[in-house]
A = this chain, B = another copy of it.
Amino acid sequence: MVGEQRQATMADVAREAGVSVSTVSRALRGVATVSPEARSRVERAAKELSFSLSRSASSLVTGKTRRVAVLMPGLQRAPWFLGTALTAMAEVLGEAELDLLVYVVNNKSERAAFFDRLPARRNADALMVISFILTAEERERLDDLGVPVVFVSQHTAGRASVYIDDAEGAHKGIQHLLNLGHRRIAHMQSAVVESFSWSAHDRLAGYRQALEEAGLPYDDALVMSTEYSRQGIREGVGSLLSLPQMPTAVFVETDEMAFEVLSILRSCGIDVPGRMSVLGFDDHSLAEALNLSTVAQSPWRTGHIAAELVSSILADPSSDPTPHVVLPTHLVPRGSTAPPPRAEQGEAAAAALQAPPSAASAGNS
């Protein structure tokens, strides 16, 4: 079934083509100084023998692996974002004939193992690190990795970074809610798990700043850090709904969390956006279907640009190894945001909580 015959080597190709191994090597790499006839003989022989190059052998002499590693948190956490970025990276690297080595780190011990053994060290020409909050020691380890490192969806001074301005994006989103007339705006974010970051910190900062600029007080009670699970989010929503003065809008850290919020609000009869506006962040592929207003970013562009950065650094060592590329975000207003209810906010909130779900939704109690 499976052909277990020995793989053809350059020596085999050389014999078949009647030239030396050196010539085979040069012809296959497209070096100019090879006669057309020798080249075509080599190509024919290579095809005939199904020759394929051993990168191990070439790596050994060139010192280059033609491989780029990417370190990322478990994809199940943010499959849409990470999956899309990864696909974009693979596309760009594939064009440059660079292979993509993926290291997924799911928990603390896997993380420790990665930074301890640093398997990327001699097995990749560059490393991309996505969405991690690194400790000082971890950053140091990366610094003497010996290969270029590009930070993606995160940034550090003096290191190549490709990211969005999360604070600014959040600021735009909050400004939208303010422009609609909202004054009590809540924020929900996931409690950061073992320093796997989704930019929670900067989005919160943007929220705070936008409120401040509008002259609104920052209210701790309006900011929830929930566990990243349906149950955690439900509890967060519960906290909002049980505040003495209910907010009229909530800005949620990610679309994936916002989908849960929408579902929970709907299930308890709080009309969105009639009683509560919901704003997400990401512009997830399902945001349109769920009519979720959100702040858009593009993981595709992020991955593309990070990979291009890597391949240009590898192709041209004289290029700037530490650029910062800041990608744009923009507001995508949809049906989940609208002006707050006419009634005094406090009263509206109280009403929503008293009335039975279906009646509250139909509004005819």
Residues of A within 8 A of B (CB): 1-5, 7, 50, 52-57, 59-60, 65, 67, 74-76, 79-80, 82-84, 86-87, 90-91, 94, 99-104, 106, 110, 113, 117-119, 121-123, 143-149, 158-159, 230, 256, 259-260, 262-264, 267, 285-286, 288-291, 300, 321-322, 362
When chains A and B are docked, how far (Å) is the Cα of A24 from the Cα of B288? 59
Specify which chain B residues have a CB less than 8 angstroms from the CB of A57 in the assembled complex. Answer: 56, 60
A112 CB, min distance to chain B CBs, angstroms = 12
A257 CB, min distance to chain B CBs, angstroms = 10
Q: Is the Cβ of A2 less than 8 Å from the Cβ of B56?
A: no
Instruction: State which of B103, B144, B145, B264 has its C-beta within 8 Å of the C-beta of A94.
Output: B103
Q: Is the Cβ of A99 less than 8 Å from the Cβ of B79?
A: no
If A1-B158, A56-B59, A104-B90 touch, whether A122 touches B7 (CB-CB below 8 Å) is yes
Question: Which of A56, A91, A267, A291 is packed against the most chain B CB atoms within 10 Å?
Answer: A56
If A76-B83, A256-B286 touch, whether A145 touches B263 (CB-CB below 8 Å) is no
Q: Is the Cβ of B90 less than 8 Å from the Cβ of A103?
A: yes
Specify which chain B residues have a CB less than 8 angstroms from the CB of A290 in the assembled complex. Answer: 259, 263, 290
If A86-B104, A94-B104 touch, whether A144 touches B3 (CB-CB below 8 Å) is yes
Q: Is the Cβ of B83 less than 8 Å from the Cβ of A75?
A: yes
Specify which chain B residues have a CB less than 8 angstroms from the CB of A259 in the assembled complex. Answer: 286, 289-290
If A56-B60, A79-B83, A117-B52 touch, whether A2 touches B106 (CB-CB below 8 Å) is no
Q: Is the Cβ of B52 less than 8 Å from the Cβ of A122?
A: yes
Q: Is the Cβ of B56 less than 8 Å from the Cβ of A65?
A: yes
Specify which chain B residues have a CB less than 8 angstroms from the CB of A110 in the assembled complex. Answer: 91, 94
Q: Is the Cβ of B122 less than 8 Å from the Cβ of A102?
A: no
Q: Is the Cβ of A2 less than 8 Å from the Cβ of B146?
A: yes
A250 CB, min distance to chain B CBs, angstroms = 16
Q: Is the Cβ of A322 less than 8 Å from the Cβ of B76?
A: no
When chains A and B are docked, how far (Å) is the Cα of A7 from the Cα of B118? 13
If A79-B79, A82-B83, A289-B263 touch, whether A144 touches B2 (CB-CB below 8 Å) is yes
Q: Which residue of B lies closest to A97 (CB)?
A: B119
Q: Is the Cβ of B60 less than 8 Å from the Cβ of A146?
A: no
A60 CB, min distance to chain B CBs, angstroms = 5
Q: Is the Cβ of B263 less than 8 Å from the Cβ of A321?
A: no
If A7-B146, A119-B99, A288-B230 touch, whether A76 touches B87 (CB-CB below 8 Å) is yes
